[in-house]
Amino acid sequence: MNSMLERLSKEFRVTDITERHPGLTTLTADKDVAETLLRELRDREGYTHLNFMTAIDYIERGVFTLVYMLHNYATKSTLSVHVNIDRVNAEMTSIHTLWAQAWTYQRELRELWGINFPGSPRVEEDFCLEGWEEIPPMRREFDTVEYCERTFTSREGRGTVNPREHMAEIIFPNRGGDK
Amino acid sequence: MIKSLSTDATLANAGLSAEEQDLFSNARPTAYEPYSIKAVEDFANWCRANSLWILAFGTGCGAIELRPLMTARFDANRIGVAGRPTPRQASVFIIGGYSSVKTLKRIVRSYEQMQGPKFVIALGICPVNGGMYWDSYNTIKRLDQYIPVDLYITGCMPRPEVLVAGALELKKMIKEGRCDGANRYVENFDWYKANQKKVIKKWDMPDYNW
Amino acid sequence: MSLKDLISPFFVWQRAFEKPYTVGLKPIVERPGAPAYRGFHINMSDDCVGCGSCFTICQNHAIDMVKVDGLEAHGGDSGLRPRFDYGRCCWCGLCVDICTAGSLRMTNEYAWFTTNPDDFRFVAGMENKSWDGRTGGYHRHPDYHLFPPKRIEMEMLAPEESVASFTEVAKGYTEEQAKLEADRCVECGICVATCPAHMDVPDYIHSIRDGDYEKGLQLMYRTNPFPATCGRICTRRCESVCPVGIQGEPVAIRWLKRFIVDQVAEADYARILPNVEADTGKRIAIVGAGPGGLSAAYYLRLKGHAVEVFESQAQAGGMLRYGVPSYRLPDPALDKDIEHIRSLGVEIHFNHSIGRDTAFSDLLDNYDAVFVSTGLNVPSQMRIQGEDHPRVMDGLKLLDDVANGKDPQIGTSVAVIGGGNVAMDAARVSRRLGAEVTVLYRRRIEDMPADTEEIHEAQAEGCIFVTQAIPVEALNAAQSDQVTLKWGEAEMLQDPKGGRPRPVLQEERMHLDTFDTVVSAIGQGSNLDYIPTEISDQLQIKWGKFIPGDYQQMVLNKLFVGGDVANATADAISAIEDGHHAARGIHRFLDTGQRG
Amino acid sequence: MPQPPTHSSSLDMAQPEPIDLSSGKYVKLWQGPQHPGITGNMSLELTLCGDEIVECKTHVGYLHRGFEKFMERRTYIQNFTVVCRIAVPEPTFNEYLYSAAIEELAGIEVPERANWLRALNLEMMRLASFLMWTGGMSGAFGLYTVPNWTLTYRDYILDLFEELTGARIYHMYIVPGGVRNVLPDGWKARALEILKGTEKMMREVDRVMMNNAVFKARSKGLGLIPPDMVDPYGIVGPNARAAGFKRDLRKDEPYLVYDQLDFEVVTATASDAYERAWVRQQEIFQCINLIRQMLERMPDSGPFQAQMPNVLHWKIPPGETYLKAECTRGEYGYYVVTDGSEYVRRVHVRGPSYTHAIAVMERLAVGTNIADIAGLMVSLHTYPPEIER
Amino acid sequence: MNTVDEILDYAIDQEQQAADFYADMAKRAEKGGMKEIFLEFSAEEERHRDKLLNVKQGDQELHANQAVINLKISDYLVDVEPHENISYQDALIVAMKRERAAFRLYSDMAEKVTEPALQDVFLGLAKEEAKHKLFFESEYDERVLKDN
C-alpha cells in the first residue's frame, strides 16, 4: 500500500495523501493525469471497482472537487481520488471507457453540477430533471428555498413567534439591553 | 378558486409540434352531469362506490404501503378495491406522497386519461403542504394546485389500516355524491392548467385530450 | 422439466384450510398502534414552558410557536405553545426527544383523513382531539438524550480544605468545561425574561461556544456592569427557570458568566467595552456605592453625565463587600467590576454620609437628579428576652468585622439563628474562624431562603442544622463568657390561606444550650433616617422601603431610588437592574423632561 | 467457480448504429413510469423488433427530491430523519450508514449494545426487503400466490419494527450516537415465533416458486451476467454473488457485530434470473439464522446511546469518510464531507441500483423478450429512489 | 358588666381606643412610611369596631367555638414602648402585644363569669382578638422573620 502510494506520488505527483480510517485513503491528483492514474490503478493496482464518482462544490476556492472512489477487493482498500477542476467552464475527461456505470455518473454531474464530460455517451440528455432552466441545482450558489418560494406555493396561515422576543415584548418591553 | 374565465371552445395545444396537432383532439373537458332521476344517480353512485379501481402508479413512497393493502393481510379486494394497470380502466388515483415535477407531468397525463367519474386520494403529508420536501427544488408542495383531490390521508406513511378506512370513507362520500373533484377540474380548468404549466417547464404534450 | 417441478407448486393448496391472515374491516379499531408508536402529538400544556426547542429542531418547519388564548407569558413560561402542521410533520419524534419539559409526546393514534387539507393543523394540548387522554405512544426513553442532562461539575475546594481559609471555594471552569457546559444551552431565551436585569444569556453562552469571550463580555455589560460579581454570587433566577433543568440540571449560567469575565483581563476592558459618550453637562448624585448605585452610575456615565457617588463606608461595593464573605466573592473579582466603572470617570466620595456630611435636601438642590440606593443595612432584632446579652451578636456585624479584618471574638461554639444567606455566611465564616457551628432555624430546610447550594456547602463544611427551632430567651450561662440559649421546638402549621407553612412553638419541648456566641441573622431592615421628615412625608414609603413609580422615579421628579431599599427581592441582580432602569429613566427625564 | 478477473479490458462503449424507426421494422415502446411491471417509479424506453428488445434506455428522475442538496442546509440531527426516505423499502441502511459516518467524523464511540440493536435492525430490514422482493419476483412471472404470503410475513416483521421503533416504514431508530429505544418486553419471543413462521413459509415458497416448472422455464437463462461483466459494470451484492464472486461486506470488511456471527457467503455459478433468485432465497434463510444468533447473544442491559453533545448546535470537525454496508442489493455507501460547521458539506449516497438499473439493465435487456423484461428487472433488484435520491 | 350589651360596649370602646391610639401614633411618627402603617393599623381596628357594632345590632354573630391558629410569636417577645421613631418591627410587636392582652382579658373574664350567655360572649370576643393577633403575627412572620 505504502509503496504504491509512494510510486503514485512520484509518478503522478499526487498530493494530500491522508488515511481517513483503516482501509480508506484520500489523495489529490492533477486534472491532466487523472484519467491515466485511474487506468493505472484499475489495471495495475487492482482497484477494479468504481464505488461511485461525485463532485463537491468548493465555491470559496472556485473549484469543483471530483471524487472517484475506487476499491480493491483483494487488499480490501479504498482509494478516494480527488481532482480539482475550475468552476468556470467546468470540464473533465470522461472515464466511460474504464467503467460502464461511469457515464451515468457523468450525466448526473453534467446535469446537477454543470460539469461537462466531452465524449461521454448521452451526456446531454436529461437525467433527473426535466426542462430545468436554472443554474445546476447542486451548485452552492443555487438557493433551493428561494427557488421553492418562487416556483411553488405553500399553504397559508402559518407563522411562528419567537419565545424570547415574545416574552421581551410582554414582560419587559422597556428593559434589558438597549436595542 | 377562480372560475374558468376563458370562453374559447377549443384548446390551443401549443406544446405540440405542427404534425402532432392533428393527432390529438383540442376539445375542452366537459363536466359530469348527474342523472336527472335521483334514484338512478344514487344507484350509479352505489355501483361506483363498490368498484374502486386504483391506478397502479406508485408515484412516491406511498406505494410501499399499497402492497400490503392489496395482498392477504389487508386485502382491499374485499371492499371492491382493485388495481388496474391502465388509467383508462381506473377510477381512483392514489397519489403516494410527494410528487416530483417530472412525475407531476405523468400524474396530470394519467389523471386526464382516466375516464370519469374519477377520484383522487392524496396520501401522506407531502401533497398537503410539502411535507419533508418543503425545501426541495424538485417536488411540488400543494397537490391541489395541480389536480383536484377528494380525500387527504395524513401520515408518513399512512398505514394500510388507514388506507382501508380511507377507502371506506371514499365509498361513503361517493354514495352521498360528495366527490366532485373531477367537476372542479373542469370548472377551473384554466387555473389548473396555468399552475401546471408554471412548474412543468417542458410542456410537449396536448393540453387535455390524449 | 421434471415431474417434481410440475407437482410441487400444488402445495399452495395446503394453505386453503388455514385461518386467513386478513384483518377485519375495522382495522383501525382492531389494530391500535404499538405501545411505542409514533402517532399524533399530545402536549401536556400545563407542563410545557413554550421554550420552542421543538420548533428549533423540526427540520420540516412543521411546528409554529403560537399564542393561545388563556395563556400569558410569565416567568419561566413564554405562554406560547407548539402548533403542528400535519402537512409537514413526518413523525420523526425529534420534537419529543428534545422537549425540555417532557410535556410533549406522541400517542399511538394514527388515523386522520379529511377532504379539507387545511384541517391538518392544531395546537397540541389546547385543541380537543380524539386522541386526547390516550396513554400509549412514543415518549423519550429515560436513558436517551439529545443534549446532556447533567451539568459539568464545578470543581470546588474540598470542605475540609475550604473551612481552613477564606480562599474562594468554587474554582471556576476550565475552557474545556465551560464549552461543554455552554453546549447544553438550548437557546430558548426563557431565562432572559426571568433575569431581573434581562441579561442576554443565550447570546453570551453562544459566544463561549464560539470562543469569543470579548463579545461575551460586551453582551454582559449591555445589561450588567457587575458580571464578575454576579458570576459568583448571583441568586440566578435564570437557572431556576432554565428548561434544561426540568428533566435534568439547569445550565450553569452563573458559572459561565464567571468564566467569560475570568477570560478577559481588566486591562482589555477599555478596548472592548463601550466608551463614555460626549459630556452632557448634567450632574447626578448617587447615594450608596452598592451594586444598585454603581450600576446606575455606570449607565449614566456612559451617556455622558457627570456622576458623583456618596458612600458612607471606606470602600465601594456595599453589601457585596461587607456582607458577602470573600470565599464566595473575593475582593479582586469585585474590584474588577468596580474599577471598570470608576475608570469611566465615576467619582466616589468615600466615608461621606448623607445626612451627616451633606444634607439630603442639598443633593436635591444641587444636582440634576439623585439616585438613592442605600440598601438594607440595619439588622432586625430578635426582640427576645436577653437579646442584649454581650455574647449575642448580629450576623451583619460579624461579616462586617471579618471583611474589615477585625477579629469578632466568637469563641469556639457558635449558634447562628436564621436561614437566609446572611445566616449561611455567618455560619460558614464562623466555621472558618474555627468555631463549632449550630444553625437554628424556625422552619424546615426546604423553607430556607438561602441558596440550596450554600446550605449544602455549609452542611458539608460541618455546620449542624437544627430546624424548626425557635429561640425564646438568652440567659446568662455558668461561665461569664458564654450564653445559654433557650429555644423551643416548633410544629409546622399549614396556613389555611395558603402561603408557606408557619412554625408554631411547642412550649412543652424547650431546650437549653450553651454557646460562646449566639449570632442572630434573622433579617435586615433599612435606615432612612437621613431623609428629613418634610421630604419623606411626600414620598411613598412602606415597611421601610421606597415604592417607586415607573423608571424607579419617585413623586419628586428628581429623585430616583433602587436596590434593596426599593424592591421586594433584595438581591444584587435586582439592585443592578434597578440602577440600570433608573439610569434609563434619569437619562430620559433629563433628555426629554418626561416622567416615567 | 470462475475467479474474478484481475485485469479487465477497456469497455466497448461505442454506441450501436442508430436505429432507423422510419424503416417500420422497429417499434418504440415506453414501459413506465406508470406500468405494473416496473419496480418503483421509473421507466424503460424500449425499441422492439417484433417482441425482441434491440435497445433499452432507462429513464430515472421521477423520484428525484434533491436530498443531497437539502441535506446541506439541515443540521446533523435533522438529517438523520431525512435519510431513511432515500430508499423507501429499506430505510434502515441509510440510517445506519449516515449515523455511522457522522459518528466517525465526530469521534463518537457507540456502545456495544447499540451495535447489536443496529445489526438486528439491519438484518430484520434485509429479511423484510427480501420477502417483498420474493413477492415481486414471483409476481413478475405471474405467480400471485407468493406475494400474498411473503408480503404478509413482511407485514409481521413490520409489526415487530413498529413495536421496537414506533413506526412501520420509516423507523428513524438508528440515530447518530446509538439507537432510540431498547427491545420491549416479550419482543424476542414474538420475533422468534415470526421467524419460525417465515422459515416455514419460505420452504413452501421454495416448492411453489423455485421448483415451479413455469418459473424455472422462464427465469433460467434470463439476463445472464457473465463474470467478466461484474467489475467493469460495478455489479455488487447478490447479483455478483450469483455470478460466483464471493463478496459480502459483512464478511470481507465486517462492521457492527458481524465478525462475531457465524455465517457463510452464498454463491452460485451462472448469474441468471433464476440463480439470482436462488441466492436471495438462501440469504433469507441466512438472515433468519443471523437474527436468531443475535437475539441469543445480544446484551440485555447497558447503555444504548453514546454521550452526545447538544444536537441543537452540533459542530463536527472537518473531515471526510466513506462507509459502506451490505444491503439486500449489495454495497450501500455514504460519502460524507464535513467542513467544521453545523451543516454537512456534502453527502453522497451510493446505491447499488445506480448501476444495476441503468448500465446493467440496458445491457442485459438487449436480446430479451418483451414479456420477460419485468422479470429481468425485478431479478436485478433495483430501487429507483436510491438512484436519483 | 352584667349584660351582653354592656360587654360589647366595653369591647367596642376598647377597639375605638386602639384605633385612636394608632391614629395618634401616625400623627407622631417620624420615620418615612410609618405614618401609613399606623393609619392602616388604625383602619384595621376600626374594622374590628365595626364588626362588634354589627354584632351588637344582631347583624353578625360571634363564634365562641371557632378554631383560631395561635402562632405564639408574641408570647416570647420583649415589650416595646411606642415612640416617635418606632420601627415597623416594633410597631408590629406593639400591636401584637395589645391584641394579646385583650385576648387574655376576655379569656379571663370568660372563666370568671358563670352565666353561659355571658361566657359565650367573652369567649367569642377572645376568639375575635385571637384572630386579630393572628393577623399581626402573620404579618410579623412574613415581613420581619423573613431571614433575608
**How confident is the prediction for chain A on average, in pLDDT?**
87
Q: For residues C325 and C429, give the distance between their C-alpha atoms in angstroms, rounded to a whole number.
A: 7
Q: For residues B78 and C25, give the distance between their C-alpha atoms in angstroms, rounded to a whole number.
A: 9
Beta carbon pairs, A and C, within 8 Å: 84
pLDDT, tens digit, 9 for 90 and up, residues B48-71: 888 889 988 888 887 888 888 888
Using CA coordinates, name the residue in chain B closest to D152: B73
The predicted pLDDT at position D17 comes to 62
**Closest partner CB to A153 (pick from B102, B135, B141):** B141
Fold adopted by C379-524: FAD/NAD(P)-binding domain (3.50.50)
**To which H or E segment does residue D174 belong?**
strand D174-175
Q: Is a pLDDT exceeding 60 seen at residue D29?
A: yes
Q: Is a pLDDT exceeding 80 seen at residue E44?
A: yes
The predicted pLDDT at position D7 comes to 39
Using CA coordinates, name the residue in chain C closest to D181: C141
**C-beta neighbour count of C412 within 10 angstroms:** 12
Provide the residue count of chain C. Answer: 596
Grid cell at residue C191: 431565562
Grid cell at residue D285: 434463510
Distance from CA of C20 to the nearest CA of B (A): 8
Distance from CA of D146 to the nearest CA of B (A): 10
Say which range, C237-241, D218-222, E31-35, E69-73, has the weakest mean pLDDT. E31-35
pLDDT, tens digit, 9 for 90 and up, residues C100-124: 988 898 998 888 888 888 888 888 8
The predicted pLDDT at position C129 comes to 85
Which residues 98-157 of chain A have a CB within 8 Å of chain C? 155, 157
Q: Does D252 touch chain A (CB under 8 A)?
A: yes
- The CATH number of whichever domain residue B127 belongs to comes to 3.40.50.12280
Q: Do chains D and E touch (3 or more CB pairs under 8 A)?
A: no
What secondary structure letter does DSSP report for B78? Answer: G
Q: Is a pLDDT exceeding 70 seen at residue C510?
A: yes
Local structure of D155: helix, strand or coil = helix
pLDDT-derived band at D285, boundaries 50, 70, 90: very high
- Quote the domain boundaries for residue B65: 51-190
- Tell if the CB–CB gap between A177 and C188 is shorter than 8 Å: no
Grid cell at residue C21: 391472515
- Tell if the CB–CB gap between C57 and D178 is shorter than 8 Å: no
Say which range, C545-554, D241-250, E29-38, has the weakest mean pLDDT. E29-38
Beta carbons within 8 Å of C238's beta carbon, 6+ residues apart: C191, C192, C194, C195, C199, C201, C253
Percent of chain B clearing pLDDT 90 (strictly above): 6
Q: Stretch C276-285: mean pLDDT, rounded?
A: 87
* ipTM of predicted assembly, 2 dp: 0.83
The predicted pLDDT at position E147 comes to 63
Q: Does C441 touch chain E (CB under 8 A)?
A: yes
Q: Is residue B27 part of a domain?
A: no
Q: Do chains A and C touch (3 or more CB pairs under 8 A)?
A: yes
Distance from CA of B126 to the nearest CA of A (A): 11
Q: For residues C571 and C254, give the distance between their C-alpha atoms in angstroms, rounded to a whole number.
A: 14
- Tell if the CB–CB gap between C383 and E90 is shorter than 8 Å: yes
CB C201 within 8 A of CB C191: yes
Grid cell at residue A34: 487523472
The predicted pLDDT at position D6 comes to 40
pLDDT, tens digit, 9 for 90 and up, residues D319-336: 999 999 999 988 999 999
Using CA coordinates, name the residue in chain A closest to D7: A43
Distance from CA of C583 to the nearest CA of A (A): 11
Q: For residues C342 and C477, give the distance between their C-alpha atoms in angstroms, rounded to a whole number.
A: 50
Cα A69 off chain centre by = 12
Domain C283-377+526-592: which CATH class?
alpha beta
**What is the four-CA torsion angle of A123, A127, A132, A136, rounded to 10 degrees?**
-70
**How confident is the prediction for chain C on average, in pLDDT?**
86
The predicted pLDDT at position C1 comes to 65
Domain boundaries, chain C: 28-123, 159-272, 283-377+526-592, 379-524
**Chain A residues in contact with C87 (beta carbon < 8 A):** 155
pLDDT in tens, chain A (179 residues): 678 888 878 887 888 888 888 888 999 988 888 888 888 888 888 898 999 999 999 999 999 999 999 999 888 899 999 999 998 888 888 888 888 888 889 988 998 888 998 888 888 888 888 888 888 999 999 998 899 888 888 888 888 888 888 888 888 887 877 65
The predicted pLDDT at position B6 comes to 47
Report the interhelical angle of D91-106 vs D112-140 (nearest 10°): 150
Using CA coordinates, name the residue in chain C closest to B125: C87
- Tell if the CB–CB gap between B201 and A131 is shorter than 8 Å: yes
Fold adopted by D67-224+252-265+279-343: Cytochrome-c3 Hydrogenase; chain B (1.10.645)
CA distances from C355 to B40, C424, C459, E86 (A): 103, 33, 42, 19
Q: What domains, with CATH codes, occur in chain A?
A: 2-171 (3.30.460.80)
The predicted pLDDT at position D194 comes to 92
Q: Does C154 touch chain A (CB under 8 A)?
A: no
Q: Does C387 touch chain E (CB under 8 A)?
A: yes
- Tell if the CB–CB gap between B152 and C113 is shorter than 8 Å: yes
**Chain C residues in contact with E90 (beta carbon < 8 A):** 383
The predicted pLDDT at position C548 comes to 85
- Tell if the CB–CB gap between C110 and B161 is shorter than 8 Å: yes
> What's C89-117 look like in SS3?
CCCCCHHHHHCCCCCEEECCCCCCEECCH
Q: Is a pLDDT exceeding 80 seen at residue D262?
A: yes
Distance from CA of D6 to the nearest CA of A (A): 7
Interface of D with B (CB under 8 A): 33-36, 40-41, 61-66, 69-70, 73, 82, 85, 88-89, 132, 135, 147-149, 151-152, 154-155, 158, 168-170, 385
The predicted pLDDT at position D5 comes to 39
Burial class (CB in 10 A: 0-12, 13-18, 19+), C166: middle
**Chain B residues in contact with C112 (beta carbon < 8 A):** 153-155, 162
Q: For residues C225 and D185, give the distance between their C-alpha atoms in angstroms, rounded to a whole number.
A: 57
Percent of chain C clearing pLDDT 90 (strictly above): 7
**C-beta neighbour count of E108 within 10 angstroms:** 12
From the options 3.40.1170.20, 3.30.70.3270, 3.40.50.150, 3.40.50.300, give the CATH code of C28-123. 3.30.70.3270
- Tell if the CB–CB gap between D310 and C33 is shorter than 8 Å: no
- Tell if the CB–CB gap between C493 and E69 is shorter than 8 Å: yes
Beta carbons within 8 Å of E34's beta carbon, 6+ residues apart: E26, E86, E87, E88, E91
Grid cell at residue C29: 379499531
Q: Is residue E65 part of a domain?
A: yes
- Tell if the CB–CB gap between D170 and B156 is shorter than 8 Å: yes
Q: For residues A145 and C316, give the distance between their C-alpha atoms in angstroms, rounded to a whole number.
A: 56
Using CA coordinates, name the residue in chain C closest to E141: C502
- Tell if the CB–CB gap between B136 and D61 is shorter than 8 Å: no
Q: For residues D104 and C456, give the distance between their C-alpha atoms in angstroms, rounded to a whole number.
A: 42
The predicted pLDDT at position E32 comes to 66
CB A70 within 8 A of CB A47: yes
Q: Stretch D186-197: mean pLDDT, rounded?
A: 91
The predicted pLDDT at position E148 comes to 56
Q: For residues D350 and D228, give the distance between their C-alpha atoms in angstroms, rounded to a whole number.
A: 22
Q: Is residue E57 part of a domain?
A: yes
- Tell if the CB–CB gap between A152 and B129 is shorter than 8 Å: no
Which residues 270-329 of chain C have a CB within 8 Å of chain D? none
Q: Where are the beta strands (DSSP E) in chain E?
A: none
Distance from CA of A145 to the nearest CA of D (A): 9
- The CATH number of whichever domain residue E36 belongs to comes to 1.20.1260.10
> For cell 475506487, what's the residue?
A70
Domain count, chain E: 1
Q: Is residue E27 part of a domain?
A: yes
Q: Is residue E148 part of a domain?
A: no
Beta carbon pairs, C and D, within 8 Å: 118
Q: Is a pLDDT exceeding 50 seen at residue C310?
A: yes
Name subunits touching A (3+ CB pairs < 8 A): B, C, D
Partnered with residue D325 across adjacent β-strands are D332
Using CA coordinates, name the residue in chain A closest to C85: A158
Burial class (CB in 10 A: 0-12, 13-18, 19+), C358: middle
Distance from CA of C83 to the nearest CA of A (A): 9
pLDDT, tens digit, 9 for 90 and up, residues B25-36: 788 888 888 888
| CATH 3.30.70.1140 describes domain C159-272 | no
CB A68 within 8 A of CB A120: no
pLDDT, tens digit, 9 for 90 and up, residues E57-98: 877 777 777 777 777 777 778 887 777 777 777 888 888 888
Q: Stretch C472-482: mean pLDDT, rounded?
A: 85
Q: Is a pLDDT exceeding 70 seen at residue C225?
A: yes
